Amino acid sequence: MSESTSLPIAAKISLTGGSDFWHSTPVPEADLPAVILTDGPHGVRKQAGATDHVGLNESVPATCFPPAVGLASTWNPALVEEVGRALGIESRALGVGVLLGPGANIKRSPLCGRNFEYFSEDPHLTGRLASAYVRGVQSQGVGTSLKHFAANNQETDRMRRSSEVDERTLREIYLRGFGTVVRTARPWTVMCSYNRINGVLASQNHWLLTEVLRDEWGFEGFVVSDWGAVRDRVAALTAGLDLEMPANKAHEDAVRRALAAGEIDEPTIDRAYRRVEAVLRRAHDSVKDADGRFDVDAHHGLARRAAEQAIVLLSNDGVLPLDPADFGDAGSLAVIGEFARTPRYQGAGSSRVNPTRLDNALDALHAVLGRDVPFAPGFTTDPRNPVAEGAHEEAVTLARTAGLVLLFLGLGENHESEGYDRTTLDLPAEQLALLDDVLAVNPNVVVVLSNGSSVLLPFADRVRAVVEGWLLGQAGGPALADVLFGVVNPSGRVAETIPVRLEDCPSYLTFPGDATGVHYGEGLFVGYRGYDAQQREVAFPFGHGLSYTTFAYSDLSVGSAASGVRVEVTVTNTGDRAGREVVQAYVSIDRSSVVRAPRELKGFADVTLEPSDSRRVGIDIPMEDLAYWSVRDHRWVVEAGSYTVAVGASSRDLRLSAAVELAGDEPVRPISLDTTIGEAMAVPGFGEQLMARFAETMGGLGEPDEDMARMLADIPLAAAIGFSGMDPEQFDEVIARANAVRGV
């Protein structure tokens, strides 16, 4: 950008920091006005008056779509992209140039207070959905900010704590989803997180912000700090950060002083300036004529469609769907629980949106039945006074005479929020007590849940059905009513495992760490990878969700090409209602030289079918998705071998499987004295030579039995040569020749 070279350096420095809470600094010399960057992710939070970044002060009305926990349960990238487009339209209309989302952090523990803002415990699902979001928003000419980069998997001490993660786990679990989004959806900006990663602040982490993000993944946009994440702007700019938010004049002065002292050079400042300028100019061009108008009704309708697909039917003994004809008289159906009237529909903190409208389930149930339904709140949503005088008793009395009770339970805003983690997975005690007392007088109870992250469901077997509503955005109420009455056939799937006990969670022992850091001790075994490896019972497995119809799987075919693996399976709707099935493909390798989870999600696709209809569903798994991160080679490696692809309706409801042989792309490793006999024997040609040498020196070798062969296999050549009395120098020659033949 030739323009930038003639610009005063002070102007360039000014663009590396915001001008206030939500605006970049205007650069009149470059004819670049201030641009608004604001939250996100599931709605536009443009504050008109007093500003803060934790959702305290009101913002202008915008559609509140389901937060990521809800969007993720749809397992529907096309729908998420549509939501993204609507968010892009609203951003543009409201003059917002960069919408701060999506959040692509992995749900390492269900206790993380901010899980509602993240998609999943799985990087494949996270990467696919976050990419769809980015594509949708950016299709409207406004930017996204992929956050919080990286390894920000808890809120406890989030601005200081070091996430201590081994190299392979970082790559395969915590960075993989981010990498997918950067490479396939090209977000205009990436937001670095507050925390340290293996001791180094993300905002000052050259490896993260430059080597991985730019050099490996080809990121071309700018890196913005999380709000207040920069300690030292000079160090951050040097590491690869481009824009510090919000404004920090002291840091700007420090850059000027560092420049004068030769501690930072002009090209480093120029680089950041050019990156920020390029993106903000594009964003400004899109939003400069913002008129505040968007189709409020259409977006509300889309929020409702998204909510419909986000709802997960966890269990059902056949009581659902309800039939309005069964509830003719006023007393036959009772609704209990304040959440039916006062929905919990989004998370607390910086993502809090001021909705254009808010529909509740109680009104929607009235509408479906065409009359009022008796209601008792049972508890309040006021954290200071959760049980209002007499409310519990009133609800139990109502339950006693009802034919069926719809009991709305969940977590309040105070239970889960940005800024702190939960300490328990239990529902609030007063709600569990209410459930017990209602069940004591009426066995016909359907529980409807509102929560941003998993809760324990020890009562699931005692109630007739459990409907997991997560957080559904502003139109969740009617979506819930439609699912309960079968107007909508539920098709959501959990994007996180629901455990039986907190103690079963793979991260339990090390979450949330202490001042020495949070040690990601479970390594790769996050979420279902851990539960499956340890064969732990779970309440509801990753990928689970019921329907009012049934689906059969047949004719699985799995084929390979250089680009990857093609999976095809026929899905048939064997029930009597139209429905959507989410077909999931999990991959495992039969024998591996490295530690592996028993199975990993590598693809999924949905199909909507009328009763008796069948369709062939195809899933492509790119070869690179089958790679593991080799710590020996510091690169992705696809092992040669037999891979099993299992398809089904959840990670623990796999219906069909087939194997496919892959050649892999393992590096040829030079033979050395550290090579074991087993490894050497696997090298074509070399094994025979080796045995011949040993036989020569030792005067003949008998055929070892199986146990002996196993023992020998792990002996390095150096030791074997020592045992045999062979001259090591003579052996060096043999090794050198073998390596030369193999080109290493």
Query: What are the residue numbers of the active site?
Result: 226
Binding site for ligand BGC (CB under 6 A): 39, 53, 100, 147, 226-227, 350
Q: Order of strands across the sheet with 465-468?
A: 312-316, 465-468, 445-450, 404-410, 333-336, 375-376
Q: How many CB atoms lie within 10 A of CB 716?
A: 16
Cis peptide before 148 (omega within 30 of 0): yes
Least distance from ligand BGC to the Cβ atom of residue 117, Å: 7
Least distance from ligand BGC to the Cβ atom of residue 42, Å: 12
Which one, 88 or 410, has the nearer CB to ligand BGC?
88
Which one, 229 or 654, has the nearer CB to ligand BGC?
229
Q: For residues 356 and 96, what is the distance between their CA atoms, to the nearest angstrom?
A: 17
Least distance from ligand BGC to the Cβ atom of residue 226, Å: 5
Which one, 226 or 242, has the nearer CB to ligand BGC?
226
Q: Which residues contact 525 (CB under 8 A, 6 or more apart)?
A: 506, 533, 534, 597
Which one, 19 or 380, has the nearer CB to ligand BGC?
19
Q: CB–CB of 469/448 below 8 Å?
A: yes
Q: For residues 484 and 495, what is the distance between their CA atoms, to the nearest angstrom?
A: 21
The separation between the first and the last C-alpha atoms of the chain, rounded to the nearest angstrom, is 44
Which residue's structure tokens are 């990286």?
150
* 609 φ/ψ angles, rounded to the nearest 5 degrees: -130, 140
In eight-state DSSP terms, residue 682 is T
Return the exposure string of 48-69: e unless at least 16 CB atoms fall within 10 Å of the residue's CB, then b: eeeeebebeeebbbbbbbbbbb
Determine whether 318 is exposed, middle or buried from the number of CB atoms within 10 Å of its CB (0-12, 13-18, 19+). Answer: exposed
Which one, 39 or 606, has the nearer CB to ligand BGC?
39
Determine whether 92 is exposed, middle or buried from the number of CB atoms within 10 Å of its CB (0-12, 13-18, 19+). Answer: buried
Least distance from ligand BGC to the Cβ atom of residue 121, Å: 20
Least distance from ligand BGC to the Cβ atom of residue 286, Å: 20
Least distance from ligand BGC to the Cβ atom of residue 53, Å: 3
Q: CB–CB of 431/379 below 8 Å?
A: yes
Q: CB–CB of 102/136 below 8 Å?
A: no
In eight-state DSSP terms, residue 417 is B
Which one, 22 or 686, has the nearer CB to ligand BGC?
22
Torsion of CA 354, 357, 363, 364, to 10 degrees: -110
Which residue's structure tokens are 């004719």?
555
Q: For residues 276 and 273, what is the distance between their CA atoms, to the nearest angstrom?
A: 5
Least distance from ligand BGC to the Cβ atom of residue 267, Å: 29
Which one, 194 or 470, has the nearer CB to ligand BGC?
194
Which residue's structure tokens are 């304040």?
338
Least distance from ligand BGC to the Cβ atom of residue 351, Å: 7
Q: For residues 455 and 152, what is the distance between their CA atoms, to the nearest angstrom?
A: 21
Which one, 208 or 311, has the nearer CB to ligand BGC?
208
Output the CA torsion sign for 481, 485, 488, 494: positive
